Structures are given as structure tokens and as C-alpha cells.
Amino acid sequence: MSFLGELLSTLFDRTPLSFGLSSKADQPIDAMMEALVKTNGETAGLALSRSILTQYDGLDDNAKIALFEHLAEKMNINPEDVETSLKNYNQNPNKKTYQAFMQAAEPRRQELFRRLNHAPGATAFLVRMRADLLRLGRGKPQLEALDLDLKHLFVSWFNRGFLVLRRVSWQSPAHILEKIIAYEAVHAIDSWDDLRRRMEPEDRRCFAFFHPSMPDEPLIFVEVALTHGIANSIQVILAENREVIAGDTADTAVFYSISNCQAGLAGISFGNSLIKQVAADLAQEWPGLKTFVTLSPIPKLAAWSKDMGIDLAAQNPDQLKSMAAHYLLNAKSHGQWPYDPVARFHLGNGAMIHALHGDADLSEKGIAQSGGMMVNYLYDLKSVESNQDKFAEEQVIKSASDISTWAEKFAPSI
Amino acid sequence: MSFLGELLSTLFDRTPLSFGLSSKADQPIDAMMEALVKTNGETAGLALSRSILTQYDGLDDNAKIALFEHLAEKMNINPEDVETSLKNYNQNPNKKTYQAFMQAAEPRRQELFRRLNHAPGATAFLVRMRADLLRLGRGKPQLEALDLDLKHLFVSWFNRGFLVLRRVSWQSPAHILEKIIAYEAVHAIDSWDDLRRRMEPEDRRCFAFFHPSMPDEPLIFVEVALTHGIANSIQVILAENREVIAGDTADTAVFYSISNCQAGLAGISFGNSLIKQVAADLAQEWPGLKTFVTLSPIPKLAAWSKDMGIDLAAQNPDQLKSMAAHYLLNAKSHGQWPYDPVARFHLGNGAMIHALHGDADLSEKGIAQSGGMMVNYLYDLKSVESNQDKFAEEQVIKSASDISTWAEKFAPSI
Amino acid sequence: MSFLGELLSTLFDRTPLSFGLSSKADQPIDAMMEALVKTNGETAGLALSRSILTQYDGLDDNAKIALFEHLAEKMNINPEDVETSLKNYNQNPNKKTYQAFMQAAEPRRQELFRRLNHAPGATAFLVRMRADLLRLGRGKPQLEALDLDLKHLFVSWFNRGFLVLRRVSWQSPAHILEKIIAYEAVHAIDSWDDLRRRMEPEDRRCFAFFHPSMPDEPLIFVEVALTHGIANSIQVILAENREVIAGDTADTAVFYSISNCQAGLAGISFGNSLIKQVAADLAQEWPGLKTFVTLSPIPKLAAWSKDMGIDLAAQNPDQLKSMAAHYLLNAKSHGQWPYDPVARFHLGNGAMIHALHGDADLSEKGIAQSGGMMVNYLYDLKSVESNQDKFAEEQVIKSASDISTWAEKFAPSI
Amino acid sequence: MSFLGELLSTLFDRTPLSFGLSSKADQPIDAMMEALVKTNGETAGLALSRSILTQYDGLDDNAKIALFEHLAEKMNINPEDVETSLKNYNQNPNKKTYQAFMQAAEPRRQELFRRLNHAPGATAFLVRMRADLLRLGRGKPQLEALDLDLKHLFVSWFNRGFLVLRRVSWQSPAHILEKIIAYEAVHAIDSWDDLRRRMEPEDRRCFAFFHPSMPDEPLIFVEVALTHGIANSIQVILAENREVIAGDTADTAVFYSISNCQAGLAGISFGNSLIKQVAADLAQEWPGLKTFVTLSPIPKLAAWSKDMGIDLAAQNPDQLKSMAAHYLLNAKSHGQWPYDPVARFHLGNGAMIHALHGDADLSEKGIAQSGGMMVNYLYDLKSVESNQDKFAEEQVIKSASDISTWAEKFAPSI
């Protein structure tokens, strides 16, 4: 399949089209956006797209907000058109009336985004633009609505079928690796030596999803340790002088860090696929692996306990553990869903709560967010799908039997 | 950029997910489609997608029509929901109301298609499915409307920003080359030796667009001859014993064949981009190239002349030439656009009519469709964009001065 | 390891050195060869090498012979220098005296060949040159001796450690595949369709050795059929309408054709490594494979029987089989080694004679050379090494028990 | 040419041969070496090679010396055999007698080394072994002579025709980049950030030679700065906050660091080819480049001046400059060749002395070795070959006119 490989390596190597220069490509950005939606010309369109990309990068936040507002207002659907076209379609459903309805029901900015994407490198640009929009639009109903259009497009473009799972290793390009350093959000990588300890040994793995149009940008990545038995602290996993084990003697794969890389892809979920695909790949490479488990933070335990009026620091180890068990099983937000976002993610994927470990993350951040407690979520091949269904439909949280025992003992010092 | 290359070479190499088997994956295809749209589970979804793909391939045409009708009726928009959600949005435009509207205005089958695409290889499947739909749905208003949903998705997925231009040569994989043989629609390739004559010599080139998710399938390709001056017949270009010229002595690139490969991508235009990108690439590789020109068939000349009551075979060479000139400049369909589809394509891209050649295609097909006449459309770097605009807005057809002179002499024998 | 891949893809893409032009590069070829051995300059050397390569390709056979004779005489060792330097080394063995000896004992033409090889593409050139030498030098003692120098160099350059085993498939480049067609020496490939039947189905494999400096030239290749049980005729394997079996159901790999590709690499043995490496790779890919066996011609049976005064065509099937068994076990050439070259090869690799099949190759060639008989040589993982040793040291031929039974029945009609 | 790429990416991915285990592979290393030279078996040979490689890596220096002495004595040529075979050849020169001579004149250890190289990864092993030999054999006549055999083989294996020139950049694999850090011998790279400053900006380049069989090991590399005019200090080139210039505005390529990477390849010259090939490649990529020049240390200036009884530190800037000019033009070693090794290298390649710069390397090392002086050697496209010839034949050192003027002023403070 190297043909594909070589084929794609030219994705961004396009020779600039030299067919004329568009005189329209030197106007205010909103005017160029209007022109881009209207133009018939490929060359003109590309010239406009390039100018828009360049001009956008020079805008300050206020100008960006103004631009987003322009998109939200001036390139929105026209409700009357929707209504009329819907009526026509209803009376006479055929290709023509349906096309008219589709066109009316889709705001023009969607076509704008699609056309912008014709320019080389534009996909990454649009992802950055959405990151701006999410940051600047918070609390502004119009802009929050506008975001749905970008998100709708991204759900289509970043379809699982277009993503590529790829191992990242010490043999990967440095410009990719430095992004792993930058994007690691759970247990910070503090140097190239630290990175190397996570990438090079044969009992350490890292996998990421990439999109063909953003080949230099990982979308999400997971770090995995192959171990004998389930690791009970992050210190053990990240220790500088630990002994490397032979991959074919490992019985357990510990997913100890998952990081989303692109703020502009918020809400477009990859993590679910990533973990399962990585588990499937590892199981095939190392038939000895029997257990697939996370070693996860409990990021909101401290926040929740504070809300409860409980002083996390005042709890003895057993109290802490029973509090964590209670919290994971019973604390809810949005009504029925687990309060803890990491719990929500893994339980939503069909994992179960397997074990709790005190003094498992002694970093400043680990102590602050959960008093050092960490949790293993277990991906059990046989039950992951039924777990997922029960959690989705009835919010059933599956856990090892002693977790509920610990939860029942919940009696914090106050 | 080889990282990208290698990255993508794994696109279809996914290890099957081994997390459970979905019991839903063994039902009638329409039931599975309903289940797929509703499921929360990644694994269940993949299992359903795979079953749907497999089952679909076993359907006969009647069953396919029934399935399409199911999609058209049962997974359509609900007009009342659209209306209600539109009203709510109108009264209170915010994220929530807009989301409700978006959801109502998009038929559920679009989500179905996106989910189907999660499975490895599904993009090519969906393209084949649309080919079926176009073939089977002709004249059925419901199915023609249904096609708009697939087309809408494909316009987004096959966005120019995601396409890869790639040279196809004698060093390309045989399984790609055999598709070039199969898909050549203008001047049939009758053997591997014929193919080789078009691929191997240094004065012959072939370029194709590919999509990362269908790496084994060219989408469209163009064949180019590098020449001294403008070739005046296809026989000269395809001659078995012609003398190969050194690429760096050529002054002209003749685009002598353009073929769309995927019936399922009808109406999603790539040709425009292809020709311009190839011209830009060739100009960079061979700075000596000054002229970019097609050698094109006139596929509907015979059909039009028959409609006019003119016997093509009865014309002398000059009559034929003046008729062709008149036809290209003046014969219209759909009101204002050129009657000839190839003319429509190149003029729409900003090319001009440059020259007419008699006895230029002496193949049976060439004689039958145009009495052997062929035409050069010239892509003039300096004027292509303004040509394109004038054609799009005012239907102005630019041509070399003697073309209109010939057209004025139009006086066929009847 | 894609870095390597990309790294090597530039092997022949060298920008010509533009540092001056050598005035020496326009002389008779033997003068340039002398100049090349003497020059200090990289650029001058490259210019000379290129000129030599070009001039050589224009020589006729007589001129080539003259050139080889020049190399044999004028660039030979000087026996007196060898003697003197050997004496000095003997008296005072150190770096300086050893170096002097090494230099005297190696003819200057070896340095010439090494320097010629600096030019891009020169390795393939030297291989072709040796093919000429072998063809033109036959029976000429001087030139046969000269060949030993080229062979000595090639043994070093085409060291197993530098060879790359590579699957050739229907996804391989056409310019490689056409060489497979050209080089197939056992069962001719008569069309691209025939090639495709051997390359594309999942129960057919082809593997070749390549050298990094001749990436477009297979050195040797083997064709393999994955089967249920051992195939008893080549017709069964090459049948156009045979049923393809699933690779993971196969229990046997049949090596049905092995072809050397480069006349200029005669005597540099790769076949041994190739078969064993391919068997190891197949065994890893398809753990169900238990038997690795050839389906081989008996190319000299007819020639031998004629020498014996036996009319091959007059034998009934049993007589033919007993004759073949007798021939394989007992007919010798060069004193102790099997008369049959294919037998010599496989027995020398440690295979054993497993079974004989009549009417197994009904092609004209098959009938002519062995009356249609073919033989399976079995590569038995457990005994291949001890077989190899016993054959090498004591000329023991291992065979299935019924082979010797058949041989004992040898009683041809005369 | 991606077929080559992919082809080679499997170079080290060999499936271990599973055909039996050699009982010979568990003996003392010298016995295994004897066995390896004698064996007929591919599998046995590989098993022996692997065992030898493994056992060697566990030897201490004394054991290595003993092993080298074994090779020097027991696997040496036999002078009597050489003499006899030479006499036979002389009397009757033909293939057989010449072969006998060749065999006698080549010590058995050369065959040993070739056979060792059959094992995957063995080339890098043999290079490391030679590094040991050079280190441990210094001053031991036998071992110095032994080294000539390894060197002879390496000259053949690392033939320019087999080397691959490759850009190393910030997109290269981290495991290659860390070797660049480790091997940089001129201006140390002190961190990944420092490395990045030399690899990533568009006006910085790094190129290395690789060998297909050691794809993870650069052999030699050069670092290049694209500049406006000739840089007059290394500080300017390595400054952290310098302004990056656009590659297409540069007129000069400054080769500011060349480092050999493999101690075991000492004496096998690549640098000559490297500089010229890189210059040719850069000239093609950036037609604006007109000047190709080094910025080189003068590593032995201080040592020489000390020998002369001159105190380097006591000279004023002008005295230092005139001393450096005098030194480069007139100081000799080995009779006629420049005393300075870097001067010897570049003048031997055909460069000329272009300019001297004081305070050009203010690092501790720069001050210590040359009082901070550096020199530009100019590679002038038009004269490089004639310079090279004149230097090689008559030791003529070409220099800019003011260099000799400075040299004439040589009047150091003592």
C-alpha cells in the first residue's frame, strides 16, 4: 500500500496555480467571504481563500468577534425562504423542491467553510478558527449557534472512516514529537528525556489519530504501559530508573494518559474509537495481553468535596478511598450522568470501575485534584458493549464488587 | 513528509475490533440501518455497518430500489418538526433552538451515511451505492431527491482540500493501471502495450485525483502529451512508432483525454481543478512549456446535425469545419449554455476555442460522433480567469478569430 | 522505518555534479579506464565513469572483446611485484608491507570496477557488463580469469546482508511486473492476464530479492501456491478457472517456479536464502502452513536418457516414474554430484526428494525435457540442516521411501 | 520510486529462519569463526554469525585483543600457498590457476567478515568492531595489518555508488536527530533547542550520507547556513535570536560544520563527495546561490605555534591573522602536505583559501585552538577541479590575493 503512502505525501505540496490573480483578493475579509461564496472560478476562489486565511491570522480578538457576528447574521438561514421552500416541497416532493429546501435550510456560511477548505492547509486553519470561536463566543447565543455549523462540518470531515491511527515512537519525526510534549494534558512531559522514556522502551507505546489533511497535527493520543499486573501508581509508570520488561511477557496494558490535542475539535469525539482500536491492535501484536485498563485521574473529586463542605485534606486514607468510591458511583451532574468527566468518558465507552489507589499520583496537581487518588477503569472485552448500552440507556455504572463496599463506608471527617 | 505517507498507508489496515459481537448485526438491512442511526456503541455501530455493507452487495436491483425507497420515505425530514423548530429558532435564536432546527432540517439518512462511513472501506462502498441510486432512481422523484443527500455529503467529503493529485506512470501499481485501462472513456486503451505507450515515454504524462479513503480508485485522470507545437490529430499522438521527444524541448502540453472514473461521483466536479493543477505542475517541471491546450472530441456534433436535418457524412471538409465552428459557437442547450458537453466543460473552466482539425480522429467513434473533427481548447494563463467570469456571467465564448470566420461560412449540404 | 524507505528512494536521484567538466572524458574507452584508475578527483572520476558507461553501450561485440582483453592483460597483477612484496611482508610483517602485498596481489581492474560503480546506475551497468563477459569470454582462458575479479567484487556487493526480500504482487509497479514476465524461466507467463492470475489471488505469492542499488531489477524470484495438500501437476496450479482458496485454510506452500533474473550474476547464489526466507515469512503469516515443498521440473531427464540410449517416449508411465527415480538418485555428473541441476540445487539446500508425478507438466517443454514428469522436493524444517550437511559432506541424497523402491524397479524399454 | 523505498524499509525486518538450530553455535568465539568460514549451510552460518555477534559484545578489551590476534595469525595468508599458486598462474594463466592464486592471496578472515555480514544488522556490528580494532590495535603491527582487510572490505561496501545523501531536518526521526547531537564534532549541540535552531529554519540545512544497511546511522553530515554574503563568525551563524532569511534571497551557502560519525569508518573518505553533492543539490533548489564556502576552524594553529615557540595569546589581531595566513600557506607535515588537517581536507577537495576572520569562534575551544581565528575555504565551481589536480600533483595551494599578503607580514611577537 505504499502507493497510497506516496500518493498522500504530496497532499500539501501543491504548486500554486499561476492562472491569473484575482483582483477581488485584496478587500476587507467579510467582503472577500461574500465574494468567495459567489465566485464561479476555481482560481479566483483559491486566491480569495488564501487572502482570507492570511488576513484572518492578523485580526485581533475584537475583529474576530466582529467577523463571527457577520457570519452569524449575514450568512445565516433566511427563515422565510426555509418556510416557503418547505411548503413547496411538502406539496410536491421532488428533486427540485427538495434541493431548494436543502439550500434554504443550510446557512450560506457552510458553503463558505467548504470553499475555504479548498486552499492547501485550510483544514488546520478552520480548526484553529473554531478554537477562536469557542473561546470568544462563550455566552453569546448567536456565536454559540454559529459554532454548530462548523461542528456539523467537522463531524462530517473528521468521520472515523477518514482518521488514521498511528503509532508515535522515538522514530517519529521531531516536529510531531514536540507536539506530543506540548499537548500532553494529564501528566506533563517535562523534557525530551522524559518523552524518550515514554516513547522508546519496548514496554511503552503511544498512539494517535491523525487526519490526512492535517498530517502534522495529532488529534488525540494515548500513552500505554505494558506491565506485569495492574500498576497502582503513576509514579511507578513514569519512574526514571524502572526496569523495562519484554513486551511478550506483559499481561496488562495500562492506558495512563489520554490527551485531546485540538481545542478546535472540542465535542467531536475520538477517544472512544482510539482506546478500542489501540486495545485491538495491542492484543494482536502481543497475544499475552489479557487485561486492558486505564490508570486515570479523578479530576473533580476535590471540587465536588469542597461543594459538599468536606475538607479533602482532612481525610485518612480509608476515608479518602470510600469518598472516591462514593463520588464515582453516586455523584451526578446534568441530572443523571457522573459528575466526574473522566468517569463519564470511560463509563460511556463501556468500561467498568475496577480499583482505587491512594497515593497514586503524588504530583502537586494529583494531590490538589484528588488527594493523590487514582482509579483503574477496566475495558473487559466480553462486557464492554453491554456495559455501554446499559450505561447509555439506564445510567448503570458497573464496578468491581469492593468498590460499592467502599462507597457504603463513606463517612468523611468534616 | 514521509511520515504522512506511512501514516496513511495504514488507513485500511485496521485490526477488527474484538470487543463483543452485536446481536443486532443479523437482521434485515433496513432494520439494521434504523439500529445504526440509533446505537450509542462504537463497536455495535461498526458491526452493523459491516453487516449492512455485506448484505447490500448481495441485493438485486429490485431490493435496492426498495431499500432506497425506505430511505426516501422513512428516513426523510419530518416537515412538522422543521416548521416547529424553525418557529422556535425564529422566536429565540440560540444554540439550543438552532441545534433543534438543524437536526429537524437534516433527514436521518444523512447521519446514517456518515455512520456507515466509519467502517473501513465504506467510502468506496457509498460511492458505488450512489452509482446504483443514480442508475435505478432515474425518473423517480423520490429517489432523485434522495440522491441530493448523498451528493451533499460527497461534496463535503470530496472537497478539493482533501484530494490528492498524483502522477500515474509505468512505475505505478498494476492494480491502479488496470483501472486507467478500464476507465479511459475518450480514446480506449486496447492493451497493456497501448497503456505503456501512454505512460512510459518521457513526453507522455498521466495525472489523477485520488481521495485518501479510496486510495485504489482514481477519481478522474487526464492524459497529456508534451509536443513541439499543437498536435492536429489524435492519430499523431497515439501512433505506435512515433519518435519520443525530450521533455525539455517541448513547448506545448496537449491534454488529449480526460476521464471521470466513478459513476457514483457524478456531478461532483473535479476536472476544473485537475487541468489547472496539472498545468501548474507541468509548467514548473518544464519551464519551456508555453502552451497548454486540449485536443478534444466534439461528441454531440453528429447528434446535433441530425436534429438539424443535416447529413454529416455529406459534407466536404470545409463544410464540416464551418459546421463545427458554428456548432461550437452557437448551438445551445438548457437555454444559454453550449450544446456540446465538452465545450461546456472547457469554456466553463475559462478556456477558449483555439483551432479545429478535420480528419483528427479517424476511429470509428470519432467518425461517428463528429466526422473526425476535433478541437483545441486553449488554456491561456493570462486570460483564463476573466474568460471564466465572462462565460459564467454573460455566456461569452472566446475563440480565435478564424473560428468565427469559419462559423460565418456555415452552409451545409442538405 | 519509513525514514529508511524515503532515504533510499533518492538513491538514483542525484543531481549531476556541476563542478567543471573533465577534459579527459572524451578519449578512447581504454584510455579513460586508465585515467579513471589514476585520477584523484571525485568530479573527474565521475565524468570519466559516465563517459565509459556511455561509450561501452555503443561498442559491438568485437570491441567489447578487445576491451576485456585490455583489462585482462594491461590491468592484471604483476607477478614480480607480488613476489617482491610477499617477500618483504614475510620478512617484516607489518601494516606497510601488508598493504604493499595487498596492492600487488589485487589487479588494478578491481579498483577500476569499484570506481566505475561511483556513478549513479553503475551497479546495473557492471552486472550487464559481466553478462557480456561471460557470453563473449567462454573458452578464452584470459577472459575466464578476468571474470573472477568481477565475480569476487559481486560476491562482496551482493552479500546476503545487503539484499532485500520483497513480495511482488498485483500492487507492485508495472515496470517491475513486466520484468517478472520477461525473466520467468520455468513456466512462461504469456500475458498480463496470466501474470495477474499468479500475483493477485490470495493463495498465490511471489517474492524476489532486490539490491538497493538496482531497485528496478529483481535478482531472483520464486512463485508460490498455497494449497490444500501437495499439488501433483503444474496444470492444476496454473489453471485459469481454478477456485481460489482462503490463505488461512491452506496447509501447504508449493514453490512452483524459481527464476534467476540476471545473467551477469551467474554463480552468485541467492536461491538458497530465498527459499528459506520465504518459507520462514509464509510460516509466520499463515501458521496453518505445515508443508513446504517444490513442484519442480526434471530438466535433464530426457538428455540423460538419450545418453543412456533409452527412448523416453517409449516408456509406459511406471517405467517413466522408475526411470526418473533412478535418475534423481543415481545419475551423477562432476563425479559425485547429481546430474540434474535442479536436483543439485534443492538437495544442496537440504531438501529431500518427496514424490514423483507423471503427466505433471504437459507443456511442450515439459514433455520434451522429462516426458511430463515433475518432482516435489520437500523442505522439512526439522531436517533441512542435517540433510544439507550430509549432502555436502557425503553426497547422501535423502528421499521418501517409495522413491528408492521405484528406482529399484528401473527397467526401461529400449 | 517509492517501490524502492518500501522495498528497503524491510531491510532489517527479517523473520528469523526457523530451519533447525545449529549445535555449532554454542562454542568459543574463535572456534565459531573457524566453523563459520567452513560451513556450507545458510542456516548454520546465520546461527553462527548471530552467536558470534552476541558473544563479541560481551568481550572485554583483553579478550577482543586476543580475538584480533587470532584473526591476524590463524586466518592470515599462507605465504607458501601464495608463492606456489603464483608460480602456477605464471606458467599457465587460466581461470583455475588464477582462482587458486586469488584464494591464496586473500586471507581467510575476509571471507569470515563477508559471512558475518549475512546476519541482519551485521554491517553496523562490523563497523563497531573495526572501531575497537583501531583503538586496541594501535602500535601493534599485526593488528594494524589486520585492519587493512576490514578497510579493504569497507571501501568496497561503502562505495559512493551505494551511499544515499539525505536531508536531515526537524521532520526527521528523533532517533536520527539524537545521533546528530551526539556526533557533532565541530560546534557542539547543547540541547534539543539548539538542534532545532540548526534544523528547522528555512535558511538552515543539514545533509548526511547513509548506507542502506545501517539506516539508523548517519555516516557523515554537514550543516549549512544560507546567508546574505559570507558569514565572518560562527557566533553570527549560531545566534539564538538571529533573523531567519528567505531561502530564495540567499546568495551564499556556508558549510559551517562537517562531522564524521563512525570511528569504524576512519580512512574511508566521504566528505569530498558530500560537500560537492550538497552544493549541487542546493544550487538546483536555490538558483540564487552563487557562493559555496566553508566557515572552518584552524584546529592545529595553536599546536603549531607552540612548536614554533610562539605564544598565540601574545599576538595582536593583525599578528594573529598574518600568522594564520602563513601557517595555512606554508606549514607542512608529512613533507609536502599542509600541517592543518582541515586545510588538507578542503584544499585536497579543490577549494581555495578565501578569507580569514579574527574573533570568529569565541568558544573556549575556538580560543584554545586558534585564538578565535576561522577561515573560509571557497568552492569555486569553475576552478575546483583544476585546483584539486594542481594540489594533488604539485601541492599548489590556491588562495585569495590578500592571504599571501597577510602571510608575508608574518612577524609574531615572541
A114-151 pLDDT, tens digit per residue, is 999 998 889 999 999 999 999 999 999 999 999 999 99
Compute the Cα dihedral for B314, B316, B317, B319 and give only its sign. negative
CATH classification of A3-157 is 3.60.20.10, yes or no? no
Q: Helices marked H in D188-316 — which ranges?
A: 192-199, 234-238, 271-285, 301-307
SS3 breakdown of chain B: % helix, strand, coil, rounded to 5? 55, 10, 35
Q: Is D346 a catalytic residue?
A: yes
CA distance B192 to C190: 13
| pLDDT computed for residue D2 by the predictor | 47
> Tell me: the pLDDT tens digits for B45-83?
888 999 999 999 999 999 999 999 999 999 999 999 999
SS (H, E, C) chain A: CHHHHHHHHCCCCCCCCCCCCCHHHCCCHHHHHHHHHHCCCHHHHHHHHHHHHHHHHCCCHHHHHHHHHHHHHHCCCCHHHHHHHHHHHHHCCCHHHHHHHHHHHCCHHHHHHHHHCCCCCHHHHHHHHHHHHHHHHCCCHHHHHHHHHHHHHHHHHCCHHHCEEEECCCCCEHHHHHHHHHHCCCCCCCCHHHHHHHHCCCCEEEEEEECCCCCCCCCEEEEEEEECCCCCCHHHHHCCCCCCCCHHHCCEEEEEEEEECCHHHCCCCCHHHHHHHHHHHHHHHCCCCCEEEECEECCCHHHHHHHCCCCHHHCCHHHHHHHHHHHHHHCEECCCEECCHHHHHHHHCCCEEEEEECCCCCCHHHHHHHCCCEEEEEECCCCHHHHHHHHHHHCCCCECHHHHHHHHCCCCCC
Query: For residue B6, is pLDDT > 90?
Result: no
Contact A171 C5 (CB under 8 A): no
| pLDDT computed for residue B25 by the predictor | 61
> Tell me: the pLDDT tens digits for C17-72?
554 445 556 788 999 999 999 987 777 888 899 999 999 999 999 999 999 999 99
HSE, side-chain direction, 13 A CA sphere, residue D183: 21
Which of C187, C211, C326, C346 does the annotation list as catalytic?
C346
Which of A213, A259, A296, A305 does the annotation list as catalytic?
A296
**Residue with cell string 557492471:** C126
Residue of C nearest to D393 (CA): C40
Of D1, D3, D171, the CB nearest to B3: D171
| pLDDT computed for residue B1 by the predictor | 34
φ, ψ at C10 (rounded to 5°): -95, 5
State the average pLDDT over residues A163-170.
Answer: 94
Closest CA of chain C from D345, distance in Å: 13
> Tell me: the pLDDT tens digits for C116-146?
999 888 999 999 999 999 999 999 999 999 9
pTM: 0.90
Query: For residue D240, is pLDDT > 80?
Result: yes
Cα angle, residue D53 at apex, residues D51 and D54 outer, rounded to 5°: 65
State the average pLDDT over residues A284-312.
Answer: 94
Contact D170 A173 (CB under 8 A): yes
Dihedral angle of Cα A189, A192, A196, A197, to the nearest 10 degrees? -50
φ, ψ at D252 (rounded to 5°): -135, 140
State the average pLDDT over residues B304-328.
Answer: 94
Contact D3 C172 (CB under 8 A): yes
> Strand pairing partners for A223?
A206, A257
> Strand pairing partners for D27?
none
Residue of C nearest to B200 (CA): C175
pLDDT level of residue D15 (50, 70, 90 thresholds): low
pLDDT level of residue D84 (50, 70, 90 thresholds): very high
Residues in D lying within 8 Å of A, measured between beta carbons: 2-3, 5-6, 170-175, 177, 192, 196, 199-200
**Residue with cell string 490528492:** B164
> Tell me: the pLDDT tens digits for D157-207?
999 899 999 999 999 999 999 999 999 989 999 999 999 999 999 999 999
> Tell me: the pLDDT tens digits for B337-350?
999 999 999 998 89
Q: How many pairs of residues across C and D have Cβ atoms under 8 Å apart?
A: 276
Give Cβ neighbours of residue A27 (< 8 Å, ≥ 6 apart): A35
Closest CA of chain C from A287, distance in Å: 14
CA distance D97 to C141: 10
Please state whether D335 falls in left (phi above 0), alpha (psi between -120 and 50) or beta. left
The architecture CATH gives domain D162-408: 3-Layer(aba) Sandwich (3.40)
User: CA C142 → CA A211, C70, C146, D144, distances in Å?
Assistant: 64, 10, 6, 35
> Tell me: the pLDDT tens digits for A351-400?
999 999 999 999 999 999 999 999 999 999 888 888 988 898 889 999 99
Q: Find the range with the poorest average confidence among A3-17, C390-404, D115-129.
A: A3-17
Q: How many pairs of residues across A and C have Cβ atoms under 8 Å apart?
A: 6
Query: For residue D18, is pLDDT > 70?
Result: no
Whether the CB-CB separation of D141 and C93 falls below 8 Å is answered with yes
CA–centroid distance for D26 within its chain: 36
CA distance B73 to B186: 39
pLDDT level of residue A46 (50, 70, 90 thresholds): confident
Whether the CB-CB separation of C144 and D95 falls below 8 Å is answered with yes
Whether the CB-CB separation of C72 and D76 falls below 8 Å is answered with no
Contact A4 B3 (CB under 8 A): no
Chains that touch D (3 or more CB pairs under 8 A): A, B, C
> Tell me: the pLDDT tens digits for B220-257?
999 999 999 999 999 999 999 999 999 999 999 999 99
Most confident of A56-70, C264-278, D272-286: A56-70
> Tell me: the pLDDT tens digits for D105-133?
999 999 999 999 998 889 999 999 999 99
Closest CA of chain B from D3, distance in Å: 8
- Select from D1, D4, D178, D198 the residue whose CB has the most chain A CBs within 10 Å, as the one to mutate to test that interface: D178
State the average pLDDT over residues A268-297.
Answer: 91
Which of D326, D346, D354, D357 does the annotation list as catalytic?
D346
| pLDDT computed for residue B23 by the predictor | 53
Of C6, C175, C199, the CB nearest to B170: C175
Query: For residue B119, is pLDDT > 80?
Result: yes
Residues of chain D within CATH 1.20.140.90 domain(s) are 3-157
Whether the ipTM is more than 0.85: the answer is: yes
Amino acid at B219: L
Task: Give the three-state DSSP class for B151.
Answer: helix
Q: How many pairs of residues across B and C have Cβ atoms under 8 Å apart?
A: 40
CA distance C153 to D102: 12
Contact A173 D175 (CB under 8 A): no
pLDDT level of residue D25 (50, 70, 90 thresholds): low
- Select from C4, C192, C194, C197 the residue whose CB has the most chain B CBs within 10 Å, as the one to mutate to test that interface: C192
Closest CA of chain C from D20, distance in Å: 6
> Tell me: the pLDDT tens digits for C225-253?
999 999 999 999 999 999 999 999 999 99
Q: Is C296 a catalytic residue?
A: yes
> Tell me: the pLDDT tens digits for C175-185?
999 999 999 98
Residue of C nearest to D90 (CA): C79
Whether the CB-CB separation of B270 and B219 falls below 8 Å is answered with yes
> Tell me: the pLDDT tens digits for B370-382?
999 999 999 998 8
Contact C171 A1 (CB under 8 A): yes
Give D-chain residues touching B1 at CB under 8 angstroms. Answer: 171
Mean residue pLDDT of chain A comes to 91
CA–centroid distance for A220 within its chain: 6
Give C-chain residues touching A3 at CB under 8 angstroms. Answer: 171
| pLDDT computed for residue A7 by the predictor | 46
Residues of chain D within CATH 3.40.630.150 domain(s) are 162-408
Of C2, C3, C171, the CB nearest to A3: C171
H or E element at residue C303: helix C301-307
Whether the CB-CB separation of D24 and D55 falls below 8 Å is answered with no
Residue of C nearest to B192 (CA): C192
- Higher per-residue confidence, A9 vs C375: C375
| pLDDT computed for residue D340 by the predictor | 95
Amino acid at D221: F
Cell of C121: 546506475
Give Cβ neighbours of residue A167 (< 8 Å, ≥ 6 apart): A205, A206, A207
Mean residue pLDDT of chain D comes to 91
> Tell me: the pLDDT tens digits for D350-401?
999 999 999 999 999 999 999 999 999 999 988 888 898 889 888 999 999 9
